[in-house]
Amino acid sequence: MTIDVLVIDDDIAVTDLLTVLLKSQGFTPMTSNSGEEGLKLIRENRPGIVILDLMMPGMDGWEVCKNVRTFSNVPIIVLSALNDPSMVASVLDAGADDYLTKPAPSSVLVAHINRLVSRVGTGRLRRTRTGELKKAVTGSLATK
């Protein structure tokens, strides 16, 4: 039972660190180091949850959030160094589901991911080795 988690952050060290953390917790991480590429990955791969940085060159996190909400309800957790209440309110109004300030303890981030996944029932269908389709979170099974 795995959840695909897309991490969008322009800092490669952050995406590498989160990849290690997410794998250790049983998630399947994907990463992007730009907002534009992140949007493309969301459209193509339909992850179960997105972890998004706000301050990125080119398309920032607010724009990514607004764009995603035009075609998807995927849960979005913003993980940002910004700790200004008006910024937090702004990105939540733009469509984010949750907001954590960097550096967030890994156990807190994982708890927030699990809470959103269980609340929303997130999980996309994944093909298993036997050719069956499984819904990652609920464990419901459908065949080809």
What's the pLDDT tens digit per position in 108-142? 999 999 999 887 765 443 333 333 333 333 333 33
What is the pTM for the complete model shown?
Answer: 0.81
What's the CA dihedral at 129, 133, 139, 140 to 10 degrees? -140
Instruction: Provide the CATH topology of domain 4-142.
Output: Rossmann fold (3.40.50)
pLDDT tens for residues 56-81? 999 999 999 999 999 999 999 999 99
Question: Among 16-20, 25-29, 135-139, which is the least confidently predicted range?
Answer: 135-139
DSSP β-bridge partners for residue 100? 79
Is 8 in a helix, a strand, or coil? Answer: strand
pLDDT tens for residues 87-115? 899 999 999 999 999 999 999 999 999 99
